[in-house]
Chains A and B, each alone.
Chain A
Amino acid sequence: MTPDLLIQSTIIGLSIGSIYILMALGLTLMFGMMHIINFAHGAIYMLGAFAIYYIFSQWGVPYFAAFVLAMLLLGTFGYLVERSIYRPIKGGIEPTLVALLALTTFLQAAGYPVFGQLDKHVPPVFQGTRNVLGVMISVERLMIIPMAGALVVGLYLFINKTKMGAAMRAIEQDKEAAALQGVNVHVVNGLAFAIGFALAAASGALMAPIFKLDPMMGEQPLLKAFIIIILGGLGSIPGAILGGLMLGLIDSIVATALGAEPAFLLSFVFIILLLLFKPTGLFGYAPP
Chain B
Amino acid sequence: MNPWRSVTWTTLLAAAVLMPGSPGTAVAADIIKFGISTPLSGPAAPWGIPHKNATELIFDEINGQGGLEIGGKKYKLEVVAYDHKYVIAEGVATVNRLIAKDGVKYISVLGGAVVKANEEPVNENGVLNLPLAYAEGLVSPKNPLTFHSFPSPPETTTFWKWIKEHQPQIKRVATISPNDDTGWWSIKVETAFVEKLGYQMAGKEFFERSMTDFNPVLLRILAQKPDIISVLASPAGSVGLIIKQARELGFKGRFIHIGQVDTSVVANIAGKANVEGMWVHGYVQSPLPEKVKSWQARYTKKYGEWNATSIDFTNPAFAFVAAVKKAQSLDPKKIGEAMRTVEFDNLWGKAHFGGKDYYGVGNQIIYPMPFSEVKDGVATLVVQLSPPHN
Q: Which residues of A contact B (CB under 8 A)?
A: 2, 5, 8-9, 12, 16, 112, 117-119, 121, 124, 129, 136-138, 140-141, 211-212, 214-217, 219-220, 251-252, 255-256, 259-261, 263
> How far in angstroms is the closest Cβ of chain B from A10?
11
Which of A5, A129, A217 has a CB less than 8 Å from the CB of B219? A5
Scoring B210, B219, B236, B265 by chain A CB atoms within 10 A of each residue's CB, the highest score goes to B219
**B220 at the A/B interface (Cβ < 8 Å)?**
yes
20 contacts between A and B (CB under 8 A): A8-B219, A112-B41, A117-B42, A117-B45, A117-B49, A118-B49, A118-B265, A119-B237, A129-B250, A211-B213, A212-B43, A212-B240, A214-B41, A214-B43, A217-B212, A220-B210, A256-B219, A259-B205, A260-B207, A263-B216
In this complex, what residue of B is CB-closest to A4?
A: B223
Instruction: Determine the chain A residues whose CB is within 8 A of the CB of B374 once the complex forms.
Output: none
> How far in angstroms is the closest Cβ of chain A from B210?
6
Contact B223 A252 (CB under 8 A): no
Contact B208 A216 (CB under 8 A): no
Contact B240 A251 (CB under 8 A): no
Instruction: Determine the chain B residues whose CB is within 8 A of the CB of A8 once the complex forms.
Output: 219, 249
- Per the bound structure, the CA–CA distance linking A52 and B152 in Å amounts to 39
Nearest first, the 5 A-B pairs at minimum CB distance are A255-B216, A138-B248, A211-B212, A119-B237, A256-B216
Knowing that A215-B41, A217-B212 touch, tell me 12 more A-B residue pairs with CB under 8 angstroms: A117-B40, A118-B46, A121-B268, A137-B248, A138-B245, A211-B213, A212-B43, A214-B41, A214-B237, A216-B42, A260-B207, A260-B216
Within 8 A of A (CB), among B337-359: none
Contact B215 A136 (CB under 8 A): no
- Per the bound structure, the CA–CA distance linking A211 and B211 in Å amounts to 10
In this complex, what residue of B is CB-closest to A13?
A: B216
Contact A118 B45 (CB under 8 A): yes
- Per the bound structure, the CA–CA distance linking A121 and B245 in Å amounts to 14
- Per the bound structure, the CA–CA distance linking A117 and B51 in Å amounts to 14
- Per the bound structure, the CA–CA distance linking A219 and B43 in Å amounts to 14
- Per the bound structure, the CA–CA distance linking A121 and B215 in Å amounts to 18
Which of B205, B249, B269 has a CB less than 8 Å from the CB of A121? B269
Scoring A112, A118, A216, A256 by chain B CB atoms within 10 A of each residue's CB, the highest score goes to A118
- Per the bound structure, the CA–CA distance linking A140 and B241 in Å amounts to 14
- Per the bound structure, the CA–CA distance linking A206 and B302 in Å amounts to 38
In this complex, what residue of B is CB-closest to A129?
A: B248
- Per the bound structure, the CA–CA distance linking A167 and B96 in Å amounts to 56
Which of B210, B237, B268 has a CB less than 8 Å from the CB of A219? B210
Number of interchain pairs (Cβ within 8 Å)? 87
Contact A260 B219 (CB under 8 A): no
Instruction: Determine the chain A residues whose CB is within 8 A of the CB of B46 once the complex forms.
Output: 118-119
Contact A255 B269 (CB under 8 A): no
Instruction: Determine the chain A residues whose CB is within 8 A of the CB of B249 once the complex forms.
Output: 8, 136, 138
Instruction: Determine the chain A residues whose CB is within 8 A of the CB of B179 once the complex forms.
Output: 261
Contact B248 A9 (CB under 8 A): no
Contact B250 A136 (CB under 8 A): yes
Contact B215 A12 (CB under 8 A): yes
- Per the bound structure, the CA–CA distance linking A212 and B265 in Å amounts to 11
**B57 at the A/B interface (Cβ < 8 Å)?**
no
Contact B217 A260 (CB under 8 A): yes
- Given A119-B269, A129-B248, A252–B215 Cβ distance below 8 Å? yes
- Given A117-B40, A121-B268, A9–B210 Cβ distance below 8 Å? no
- Given A8-B219, A129-B250, A260–B208 Cβ distance below 8 Å? yes
> How far in angstroms is the closest Cβ of chain A from B142?
30
Instruction: Determine the chain A residues whose CB is within 8 A of the CB of B43 once the complex forms.
Output: 119, 212, 214
Instruction: Determine the chain B residues whose CB is within 8 A of the CB of A137 once the complex forms.
Output: 248
Scoring B46, B179, B217, B220 by chain A CB atoms within 10 A of each residue's CB, the highest score goes to B220
Within 8 A of A (CB), among B197-222: 205-208, 210-213, 215-217, 219-220
In this complex, what residue of A is CB-closest to B218?
A: A256
- Per the bound structure, the CA–CA distance linking A9 and B42 in Å amounts to 29
Instruction: Determine the chain A residues whose CB is within 8 A of the CB of B223 once the complex forms.
Output: 2, 5
> How far in angstroms is the closest Cβ of chain B from A68?
24
> How far in angstroms is the closest Cβ of chain A from B310?
14
- Per the bound structure, the CA–CA distance linking A220 and B43 in Å amounts to 14
> How far in angstroms is the closest Cβ of chain A from B36?
15
- Per the bound structure, the CA–CA distance linking A141 and B245 in Å amounts to 10
Contact B215 A212 (CB under 8 A): no
- Per the bound structure, the CA–CA distance linking A12 and B208 in Å amounts to 19
- Per the bound structure, the CA–CA distance linking A253 and B268 in Å amounts to 29
Instruction: Determine the chain A residues whose CB is within 8 A of the CB of B245 once the complex forms.
Output: 138
Instruction: Determine the chain A residues whose CB is within 8 A of the CB of B207 once the complex forms.
Output: 260
- Per the bound structure, the CA–CA distance linking A212 and B214 in Å amounts to 12
Binary interface profile of B, 104-116, with partner A (CB < 8 Å = 1, else 0)? Answer: 0000000000000
In this complex, what residue of B is CB-closest to A1?
A: B223
- Per the bound structure, the CA–CA distance linking A136 and B249 in Å amounts to 6
- Per the bound structure, the CA–CA distance linking A117 and B85 in Å amounts to 10
- Per the bound structure, the CA–CA distance linking A263 and B249 in Å amounts to 20
